[in-house]
């Protein structure tokens, strides 16, 4: 790394990023940034490498050679296409790291390495890309993972939404851990790590220009260290799931189907921020179907439930954790809610996205 380039890993977080020379020559992404020439090299040398710097990446070989600790390997990939690219509480960069880190953590793995593939649209402001990359670096640091390989392509203006990111991740699962959606058992207890629906409503409020009384902030965050604390209570966690798109209801439906059990939740026990509840009410949406990016569902044997709850609440990412229901032998494959007034209803999978209602 040239000595006059400040490593971005030490730079302040998004909002204050300033474009280093010579990236400043081009204030926006041009087609040439995706080619194999000088412009592409400058992007790597002055943006990606300083931001993500680590031994494996800095060698700049065609493929990264990694030493993995003993254990089973968890491997996951996800693509991120959020609009807008920056929103209250995060950005596509933070999402791209936390999303894959959380997918690894949900199998009980300790996330170690990520790849990052960028598809950039011609015209994307360099400053926006800089902030996205800075967010990625910060999220990776917090999650304790290293971004060890990457790729950049540029598409013509009008052929993308500014920036798409794909991340893949590797993690290692210690012996004695077997977390899978098929493992929910009758009598198990269902916990959630905090308030639901925050991310989906935060995106909705900025994307659609809806003005609510208070700003709704995305919960985008890494769950890796929360999972580590939970595994310290017992390695015998049966199921973990981060309820992203489709929300809590879709995840619990999938678990009920995969395990062939019923799940019952108490609506009055679901943690929902008042501003999220109000926004959902106005739009006719149900917070159980709204996306989260920093919450997890845990299904654990009943004898560990209270200790698990205490461990989750002791962690900053689980301060609002709650026991919300249990696994039952009745109605296998279905999710049922006990409503606030003491009746019950089925919560079925939705067809696609929830649409705001008319009145």
Choices 10-18, 32-40, 49-57, 342-350; region in contact with another protein by CB under 8 A: 342-350
Residue 197 in the binding site for another protein (CB under 8 A) = no
DSSP 44-105: IIIIIHHHH--HHHHT--SS------SSEEEEEEEEE--SSSEETTEEHHHHHHHHHHHHHH
CA distances from 301 to 157, 189, 237 (A): 53, 6, 7
Residue 341 in the binding site for another protein (CB under 8 A) = yes
Q: Select 108 or 262, whichever has its Cβ closest to another protein.
A: 262
CA distance linking residue 301 with residue 190, whole number of Å: 9
Q: Select 67 or 343, whichever has its Cβ closest to another protein.
A: 343
Segment 247-266, which members bind another protein (CB under 8 A)?
Answer: 262, 264-266
3-state SS string for 201-258:
HHHHHHHCCCCCCCCCCCCCCCCHHHHHHHHHHCCCCCEEECCCCCHHHHHHHHHHHH
Q: Select 67 or 359, whichever has its Cβ closest to another protein.
A: 359
Site string for another protein, 263-302 (x = CB under 8 A): -xxx-x-----x--xx--xxxx------------------
Residue 153 in the binding site for another protein (CB under 8 A) = no
For residue 69, what are its two tokens? 């600790």
Total site size for another protein, rule CB under 8 A:
38
Measured from the CB of residue 189, what is the shortest distance to another protein in angstroms?
11
End-to-end CA distance of the chain: 58
Residue 158 in the binding site for another protein (CB under 8 A) = no
Measured from the CB of residue 210, what is the shortest distance to another protein in angstroms?
6
CA distances from 45 to 121, 204, 238 (A): 20, 36, 44
What are 207's strand-pairing partners? Answer: none
CA distance linking residue 337 with residue 347, whole number of Å: 7
Measured from the CB of residue 335, what is the shortest distance to another protein in angstroms?
10
Choices 22-30, 108-116, 293-301, 344-352; region in contact with another protein by CB under 8 A: 344-352
Calculate helix-pair angle for 224-233, 92-105, nearest 10 degrees.
20
Choices 40-48, 125-133, 155-163, 332-340; region in contact with another protein by CB under 8 A: 332-340
Residue 328 in the binding site for another protein (CB under 8 A) = yes
Q: Select 29 or 264, whichever has its Cβ closest to another protein.
A: 264
For residue 178, what are its two tokens? 């077997």
Residue 340 in the binding site for another protein (CB under 8 A) = yes
User: Do 233 and 290 form a contact (C-beta atoms < 8 A)?
Assistant: no
Q: Select 65 or 343, whichever has its Cβ closest to another protein.
A: 343
Residue 217 in the binding site for another protein (CB under 8 A) = no
User: How many residues are there in the chain?
Assistant: 359
For residue 56, what are its two tokens? 């494996």
Q: Which residues bind another protein (CB under 8 A)?
A: 208-210, 262, 264-266, 268, 274, 277-278, 281-284, 325-326, 328, 330-331, 334, 336, 338-346, 348, 351, 355-359
């Amino acid at each position: 790394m040239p000595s006059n380039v400040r490593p971005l890993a030490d730079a302040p977080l998004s909002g204050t990023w300033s474009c280093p020379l010579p990236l400043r020559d081009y204030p926006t992404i041009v087609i040439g940034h995706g080619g194999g020439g000088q412009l592409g090299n400058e992007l790597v040398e002055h943006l990606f490498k300083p931001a993500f710097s680590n031994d494996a990446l800095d060698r700049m070989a065609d493929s990264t050679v990694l030493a993995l600790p003993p254990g089973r390997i968890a491997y996951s990939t996800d693509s991120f296409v959020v609009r807008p690219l920056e929103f209250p509480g995060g950005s596509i960069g933070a999402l791209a790291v936390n999303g894959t880190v959380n997918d690894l953590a949900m199998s009980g793995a300790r996330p170690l390495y990520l790849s990052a593939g960028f598809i950039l649209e011609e015209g994307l402001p360099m400053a926006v890309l800089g902030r996205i990359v800075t967010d990625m670096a910060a999220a990776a640091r917090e999650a304790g993972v290293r971004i060890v390989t990457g790729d950049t392509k540029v598409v013509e203006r009008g052929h993308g939404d500014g920036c798409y990111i794909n991340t893949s991740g590797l993690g290692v699962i210690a012996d004695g851990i077997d977390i899978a959606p098929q493992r929910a058992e009758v009598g198990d207890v269902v916990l959630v790590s905090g308030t639901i629906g925050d991310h989906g409503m935060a995106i909705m409020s900025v994307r659609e220009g809806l003005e609510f009384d208070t700003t709704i902030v995305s919960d985008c965050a890494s769950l890796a260290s929360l999972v580590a604390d939970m595994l310290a209570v017992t390695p015998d966690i049966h199921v973990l799931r981060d309820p992203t798109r489709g929300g809590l209801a879709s995840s619990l439906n999938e678990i009920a189907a995969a395990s062939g059990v019923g799940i019952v939740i108490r609506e009055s026990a679901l943690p929902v921020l008042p501003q999220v509840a109000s926004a959902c009410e106005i739009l006719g949406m149900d917070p159980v179907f709204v996306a989260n990016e920093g919450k997890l569902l845990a299904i654990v044997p009943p004898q560990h439930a209270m200790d698990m709850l205490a461990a989750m609440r002791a962690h900053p990412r689980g301060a609002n954790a709650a026991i919300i229901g249990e696994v039952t032998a009745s109605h296998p494959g279905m999710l049922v809610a006990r409503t606030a007034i003491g009746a019950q209803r089925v919560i079925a999978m939705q067809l696609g996205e929830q649409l705001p209602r008319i009145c």
